[in-house]
Structure 1
């Protein structure tokens, strides 16, 4: 299991809209469950681009918002989705499940390892079926 810290409004676009590619300057070979964590800072450069998508939503910061799965990572191959940025690595997400309540937490750069205490708080908010399906390792 890993965590991925993402600036708002992008974390909300993943959690509550259809953004299924996270653009990064670095690749990953990791495939598996990931916590979607909203950083404490906002991306004010590109925020207006998604304003219509996230309008009316609470843009929580410094909190885990969802669980998902990274299913692939590839170099820019053109626009694989409207959310893709040229010249970036596209971390492809699937099975995004919003948590009913954001969990305040401090994230980190890169893919980080969530401690057991955080994972227990995440599992408490998921049905047993969702937890066993989305949080499964190695697939």
Structure 2
């Protein structure tokens, strides 16, 4: 039996971000690299991508969104992947067509979980507990700080 726990407090090397659908799935595909937020207070590094319970119904009718999520299930209330936040900057026009906010969070290195993990994320960057990180590591064993 292998030990999947990390020696480091997960809050020190990985955080979580909750994103409404369909935006969470757009990020998961890697086509959308920008998450729009009102605050620049987001530490760089790895984030669990958590699909929130809310759905932006108007966004489902946007052609860019519809093409990006076509054929995909829109999970809700679950961690669906992991991505690396590499930059946070004010809206300067560079991030079109996904840009629509005061600050842009730029995500790269997206890894999708084969099995979404039900979870109750929250607004803002949140620190995942060890048991949630362990569940993610079962699916992505190479994921490390």
TM-score, structure 1 normalization: 0.88
Q: How does 1:1-139 map to 2 (within 5 A)?
A: 1-49=14-62, 50-85=65-100, 87-128=101-142, 131-132=143-144, 136=145
Could you report, residue by residue, the CA deviation over 1:62-109 in whole angstroms, capped at 9, with x for unpaired residues?
A: 000110111110000014232111x42000111111011100000101
Structure 2 segments unaligned to the other structure (5+ residues): 1-13
RMSD value over aligned CA atoms?
Answer: 1.2
Find runs of 4+ consecutive structure 1 residues off by over 2 angstroms: none
Q: In the TM superposition, what is the alpha-carbon distance from 1:47 to its structure 2 partner? A: 2.2
Shift of the alpha carbon at 1:16? 1.9
**Larger Cα Rg: Structure 1 or Structure 2?**
2
Aligned length: 130
For normalisation by structure 2, the TM-score amounts to: 0.85
Structure 1 unmatched runs, 5+: none
8 Å Cα contact 1:70/1:91 also seen in 2: yes
